[in-house]
Structure 1
């Protein structure tokens, strides 16, 4: 059973129903709010999100498809066939920094492979509230694993020929539970239609988005209380504790406890209303508030008096009502002075009060039933969508300010602080199990964010403002281009320290259980010398952060010395952050950030730095692999290229090789001159790609060509034999090649080409032409390929030039232009009667490339010239350099 390609039709209903059932059940048993299933795509190496329960699909489009080799928990669970448990955001940042940088919100998650028999179909995933560690979610993990196991068994049956009928008949116990959803009849219908005979369960459509399962709440609940202001005592009836979900003793303690339980997060307003009512000035309308999960509450107050102000405080009676989600709740919210929107967890607007229409400049009818980002377009855009994602994935309310666009109905995003008409809204989104409540109220100016309290009470300055979402992404982009440890360190110095106001950086790498300094900047000369090569048993914060896997933050140097008495300090003031560099669970090293002044590291900054450390660790791990591979490749290539060329008294040859300067600086270009009977074989080739594999394949091909040429085989047989060898080796690469056999005495040449650029011939009279030889396809593609042979003559004093595309190819320019440039350069070499100098000509033709610091490809050049009997080969003097294409 295979999901259809986008736009080509719906996935089979039976498959969709199974995935929805598994996702929603996993959400329910794990206490989560979001669930989903990734399935294999029809495209190799790709996973696609098939079902998403509890989130709007368009807001999470970047996560719809995922390659199995990416460093993400879903990919690891699928590729390794093992469960991945991320108890909280800190664990996610440490183990999967790229994933955490994309979704930097406080949630935990579970990822369980869906396996049937020996086939891994996909991954069942659940996002749930954060936990202390993996042991705290052991029971939930086992329940989700059980669901994944049952889903794998069902998908295995579904994938088999005649699956739908077999599944319906052989799953009797489960069919009873599924009958309510119509699964059995649906499966039978599909079987009758012959829709379930495919051999593979895959998905290539957009994800199906469904709401999460929500336990039904009692509607229209109420509870009452009496407050005596003289003794500040509260007496609650039996209904109030049940409604508030709090012990009666907690509510009855005092007016402050009552206010906090009834209106969490807005207790001062409720306390003020209680006091006003006790003084004889009750509010004219019920108070409206929201519970911690976003549920609307009405609070009505009255006193014992006959009305009017009173010099003595009176007892206050109150009624707390949760009218539910029906008409009563809508009518109550209609009276609120602030705008209210209720969204389901798929982002659709389910309710809008009149005030919301006024503030958002939309009639309520235009809002209902539409996604928020479509109903109010100026609330969309990357920033607005990120706030909504945060509300969907975070346990607490999300607050921000939005500037209204200048013209009513305008669609310009104003979340960046560019309210065109100066009107601002204070927006709050309160998440709940099944709904999100959004409130809007006018805000005349955008206030500065309040500083977070210092957890330890130290008098340290606030950290500079940091864009926590931009920095990980910006750093990740910059690190993707760094290929050595030095380049990684330079990127960190350039991107990371300025963002956090740091001045000092030290990066240590782990080798043989000791830490060695790889990069430092800003520390006093010689200060770090005593720490070079310290073992993992040293009592140092840079060691402890790596061995424990936890970052260490010290807001002042006093706190650092208190934690590590006797440690050497490079300054009397300042603050330090010690970050573990761990990639794919393997320790790489540690990173030390130094700041000149004491400062408080906010929780947001600590989370961001932890994620950034993970990105740095992965980049350094990649750099270490790269440097090892580059050293191996360079040595391999030097060993494989010819140390000297075969010679003949009647023929002079010279070659040049220039490695590319981008990437590993090794590739698959080669040239060679081989004795072939009583003649010489001139060969040039280019293996696709770069790196160790390209260099190794080049060595194999060079050896094969030499072997065939030494047997005095004609050029077409040399290329055919090498072609078969490359196909048999199956390295996944192809190669171009040009092979010529030269008779030094007569000058006769027989030439064959396999997808390579045509040779150039400069005749003794200076005429230079491109030898447009007929040729066959590149080597390694077609075992039946034929390579036609062309016969020509190399006169005494003529020069033959063989080259690879790196010498003539330029970005954005047709390669024929480059070939013509090389032809002109060869033609402009003037002839003199003195001794020849082919090496000077080779240097001349490669001079432009040699002085180019950014060569994307390697370059090979082979020149050959024949000396006639009694004739000296002419010397080429330098002519004006032609313009490079």
Structure 2
């Protein structure tokens, strides 16, 4: 932090077996402010995850860029700031270093600053490597270590004289002066400030003002402190000290803490103030309510909890399938509330089917799986029936009503959160703890709100999974289960579905044995990513197969299939490449309907795209013609047919991508066709980042 001038620094340790980044050290802010990011899955859309996954420096110059690039993080950090995340890599990938600067930081990093960031990363990696060599395993602590504020850089001075002079100076001022440390605790308060706040200074020292003074117990006030702490910019707000005393608070932060200036803002009616920082008065809770007075309303949630709730809500909106919801709850919600166990169940056919769990042995999960919705074995049934969460702080408390449940669970405290949507039970989420634990009212309120969000996410995810399984099953049924064996021809084929997005694709391939020395290969891509595309893909494949086996020439196969699609009028078009291979004559005849060109790798030579004259895509032009291109295909040559998902990506020139694929095919040099196919597929995007499906078909004639 000193070397780079950052106001906040943190180190995340990579746990490879869990594919998770754990926050282990933080400086410049309290660790509770980083609670939403204490555990970051390696696949998460987060700066530290991107830095480790892509092995690159991630730089975000301003809050607007953070909102565009990492909206989930921006929800919980709505302050002007800049940040950098850099991988820490030595003899292994150790994790990532995160640095934050105030919003006044220039939008670009200087060469010197980038060098300091890289140097800090290398030094940290070297220290971790040396620790392992010395026999000290690197493991994450239970709670992140917090670095103390730097004060050594300040010039030395006679401590006692300076302190007395400073105290005397503030006592002479007509306004209140208050000092906060980075944890938000009051470290200094002059007499005027104590008078304005209405409490003795010795009663407030060491406390956080929004906890010690009920009338400051508003999340907006705490948010102003968070804004000053993270942005390192002065902020202000106005608050009412009951019954009608308005006070202005101006916060001036630096790396060691925050100085607060307190001045009167008038009495009676609320004075004009900045609407962006103004707050509403809260009733005093200093006195016990009388017999005719209503009970005080529950204290509002802390600002940190509200931001954490928004962060978790944003995370749940990104969950697609049920497995995503389980992982999100386990990786984000469990650590946020300190839970050691999780059981997430979905309501299915009158029973609670466990969709995911953490912290329980298999025999416990098996015992709890499939309980009736109205079960009396655990509190889940009652929670679902009434729609009210149930909290148990100790095993004895649960054993009084459910005597067997604590023995089976093996835990010491539980939160049973019913997942209900419009009165319809969706499931139940159970958070459990290894030790007895109280659940404060604020935490219960946040968990209750989260239950509604989890219910929505789980219900949406189950609908997605059902839809995807139906469509994917249809597509798999329409693709060939195995390709026919053709004497004199080696074949390798693979279909990979998209892993990003809600739908399936219409890519297909086929191999057709025409006679003893002739075969046909076809590959195509139906427009769209839905059930209609998958169904049309099956019809196109059947039409091509029918015309090919009926003796049609290559151009006739596509012409007749085009006419068939026009008669169907599905509103979708299809690209297609058809190849007729003469194994005896070592020739191949190709026709294309707007499909990417195939690649050919002659024996002992480099691969190149085949110059096939394309015709229009199928299903558009009734007068379309499909010119035939003939090429030599000697024994040992490799012919590669593929769909656009293998070469197309945003911001990439398609011709350059095809040329790059040809270079890879040339350099791979695999004799085994299946190994060559795997090598080509590995060259594409990572498995968890495919936005389109891929079909790949490799053909190689063999010597007689």
Q: CA deviation at 1:636?
A: 3.2
Which of 500, 508, 516 is equivalent to 1:670? 508
Contact 1:557–1:572, Cα closer than 8 Å, also in 2 = no
User: 1:351 matched to which residue of 2?
Assistant: none
Residue 582, structure 1, aligned to residue 415, structure 2: no
- Provide the C-alpha distance between the structure 2 equivalents of 1:534 and 1:568, rounded to a whole number of angstroms: 12
Q: CA deviation at 1:525?
A: 7.8
User: 1:497 matched to which residue of 2?
Assistant: 334
Contact 2:415–2:431, Cα closer than 8 Å, also in 1 = yes
TM-score normalized with structure 2 length? 0.53
- Provide the C-alpha distance between the structure 2 equivalents of 1:721 and 1:769, rounded to a whole number of angstroms: 30
- Provide the C-alpha distance between the structure 1 equivalents of 2:301 and 2:662, rounded to a whole number of angstroms: 60
Q: CA deviation at 1:405?
A: 11
Which of 639, 657, 662 is equivalent to 1:800? 639
Q: Gaps spanning 5+ residues in structure 2: where? A: 1-71, 77-174, 176-216, 238-248, 290-298
User: 2:597 matched to which residue of 1?
Assistant: 758
Q: Compared with structure 1, are the counterparts of its residues 705 and 496 closer, same or farther at alpha carbon in structure 2 (3 Å cutoff)?
A: same
Write the mapping of 1:132-151 to structure 2, written as runs, cut at 5 A. none
- Provide the C-alpha distance between the structure 2 equivalents of 1:866 and 1:741, rounded to a whole number of angstroms: 13
- Provide the C-alpha distance between the structure 1 equivalents of 2:340 and 2:674, rounded to a whole number of angstroms: 52
User: 1:479 matched to which residue of 2?
Assistant: 316
Write the mapping of 1:267-286 to structure 2, written as runs, cut at 5 A. none
| Cα shift readout 1:244-280 (whole Å, capped 9, x = no counterpart) | xxxxxxxxxxxxxxxxxxxxxxxxxxxxxxxxxxxxx
Residue 624, structure 1, aligned to residue 462, structure 2: yes
Residue 641, structure 1, aligned to residue 479, structure 2: yes
Q: CA deviation at 1:590?
A: 0.9
Partner secondary structure for residue 789 of structure 1: coil
| Cα shift readout 1:438-468 (whole Å, capped 9, x = no counterpart) | 679x99xxx9x999999xxxxxxx9995734
User: 2:372 matched to which residue of 1?
Assistant: 535
Q: CA deviation at 1:864?
A: 3.2
| Cα shift readout 1:158-200 (whole Å, capped 9, x = no counterpart) | xxxxxxxxxxxxxxxxxxxxxxxxxxxxxxxxxxxxxxxxxxx
Q: Compared with structure 1, are the counterparts of its residues 802 and 590 closer, same or farther at alpha carbon in structure 2 (3 Å cutoff)?
A: same
Q: CA deviation at 1:578?
A: 1.8
Write the mapping of 1:221-240 to structure 2, written as runs, cut at 5 A. none
Write the mapping of 1:843-882 to structure 2, written as runs, cut at 5 A. 843-846=678-681, 848=683, 854-866=689-701, 872=703
Residue 569, structure 1, aligned to residue 406, structure 2: yes
Which of 681, 692, 695 is equivalent to 2:534? 695
Write the mapping of 1:220-619 to structure 2, written as runs, cut at 5 A. 400=221, 402=224, 419-420=252-253, 422-424=259-261, 467-522=304-359, 530-539=367-376, 540-554=378-392, 560=398, 564=401, 566=403, 568-569=405-406, 575-583=413-421, 585-595=423-433, 596-602=435-441, 604-619=442-457
- Provide the C-alpha distance between the structure 2 equivalents of 1:866 and 1:667, rounded to a whole number of angstroms: 30
- Provide the C-alpha distance between the structure 1 equivalents of 2:305 and 2:688, rounded to a whole number of angstroms: 36
Q: CA deviation at 1:679?
A: 4.6
User: 1:90 matched to which residue of 2?
Assistant: none
Contact 1:403–1:424, Cα closer than 8 Å, also in 2 = no
- Provide the C-alpha distance between the structure 1 equivalents of 2:553 and 2:286, rounded to a whole number of angstroms: 81
- Provide the C-alpha distance between the structure 2 equivalents of 1:452 and 1:709, rounded to a whole number of angstroms: 90
Alpha carbon RMSD of aligned pairs, Å? 5.1
How many residue pairs get matched?
A: 454
Q: CA deviation at 1:789?
A: 0.7
Partner secondary structure for residue 505 of structure 1: strand
User: 1:317 matched to which residue of 2?
Assistant: none
Contact 2:576–2:618, Cα closer than 8 Å, also in 1 = yes
- Provide the C-alpha distance between the structure 1 equivalents of 2:508 and 2:265, rounded to a whole number of angstroms: 65
User: 1:770 matched to which residue of 2?
Assistant: 609
- Provide the C-alpha distance between the structure 2 equivalents of 1:802 and 1:812, rounded to a whole number of angstroms: 23
- Provide the C-alpha distance between the structure 2 equivalents of 1:810 and 1:710, rounded to a whole number of angstroms: 36
Q: CA deviation at 1:542?
A: 0.8
Q: CA deviation at 1:758?
A: 0.6
Contact 1:404–1:419, Cα closer than 8 Å, also in 2 = no
| Cα shift readout 1:626-685 (whole Å, capped 9, x = no counterpart) | 443444445434332224445655655443334444468964322112245885332111
Q: Gaps spanning 5+ residues in structure 1: where? A: 1-97, 103-336, 338-395, 455-461, 874-885
- Provide the C-alpha distance between the structure 1 equivalents of 2:571 and 2:498, rounded to a whole number of angstroms: 21
Partner secondary structure for residue 304 of structure 2: coil
- Provide the C-alpha distance between the structure 1 equivalents of 2:518 and 2:610, rounded to a whole number of angstroms: 21
- Provide the C-alpha distance between the structure 2 equivalents of 1:813 and 1:630, rounded to a whole number of angstroms: 29
For structure 1, which segment, 723-732 or 748-757, has the greater mean C-alpha deviation from structure 2 after superposition?
A: 723-732
- Provide the C-alpha distance between the structure 1 equivalents of 2:501 and 2:226, rounded to a whole number of angstroms: 48
Decide which structure has the larger Cα Rg and report it: 1
